[in-house]
Amino acid sequence: ENNRNTYSANIPDARALWEVYYPPYQACIDAGVASAMCSYNLVNDTHSCSNDQLLNKDLKDVMGFEGWVMSDWAAAHDTTVAEGLDQDMPGSNVDDGSGSESFYAPDRLAAVDESLIDAAVSRVLWPIVQYGLMDTYDDSCKVTATTTDCSDEMYDVVATTDEHQALALKIATESVLLLKNEGGLLPITVTANASASVARALSGDDECTVETDWDYFDNDISDELTWDASKCCDGCLAISGGGQGQQTCTAYTYSPDDGHCYYKSSNAGRTYSQGRISGTVDSRTTDDADDFTNDDAAADYTIAVVGAACNAAR
């Protein structure tokens, strides 16, 4: 997030763009994605939400994207309908941090060619009609000049489904490859701890218990700021294999009061503490990795994560 409005991602080589960076976006477009979001940073020295080459020429013209482009929250830096930004989000007085009107306020849009406004609106409306949202319109969410009554739709509706979760799992699973580092071909150094990580990743045996209103004393490894207790389990598992001078994490405690995970090398000394969330980690150890190494040459493998067919990259 630091310097996000001033950093430029420079990829001047068009071949690299089309062969390396653009294929995931093209796959999303081919799959019928309805919207795209431009980011805060610059691309090739032009802000992405003001980037005619990126939004109009590459995304809309060459890739054939028919949906609409919205800005990330407060990522617009100008009124750039002509450059391909169809919607400024959130459309309030936060765009440039000065408290001025938004870049897409009516008086600013009045200076934009009307045909460009029509094209931007059409791109927003097209997927609404294409995907049947007009057919299932519910007027319970009413937006007027003075009131907005959409609290149920904004905060209470469950937007995911079992099918969505199954698809997300399928994409994530198919995006991971196990590469064989035969003869030290890959430029990596594999340690026993890395082998343990591979073994755990393949075994799927890692588990975390979850107990409310309990605390494990003696924060003797580390702590980190997080936003929910499940991240404590992930963090403890990440260092549960030990090695490289690390202590092995076997228990954790999450404190909602300060938003910290506290990692422990021992699960001794559990005590009642209202509001805290704790648990222990049941993970494969380096001994398990040794067995895996002997049987399957774990040290000759490394996990490589590659982009999914339709990545959420911006």
Cα distance between residue 142 and residue 180, in whole Å: 57
Active site residue 72: yes
Cα distance between residue 106 and residue 211, in whole Å: 53
Question: How is residue 267 written in tokens?
Answer: 């699960």
CA distances from 5 to 2, 9, 99 (A): 8, 11, 17
Quick check: 304 and 171 in contact, CB under 8 A? no
CB-CB neighbours of 244 under 10 Å: 10
Question: How is residue 232 written in tokens?
Answer: 């404590």
- Measured in whole angstroms, how far is the alpha carbon of residue 209 from the centre of its chain? 26
CB-CB neighbours of 21 under 10 Å: 14
Which one from 52, 72, 78, 290 is the annotated catalytic residue?
Answer: 72
Q: φ and ψ at 218, to 5 degrees?
A: 70, 75
Cα distance between residue 194 and residue 202, in whole Å: 12
Q: Which residues pair with 179 in a beta bridge?
A: 302
Residue count of the chain: 314
Write out the catalytic residue numbers.
72
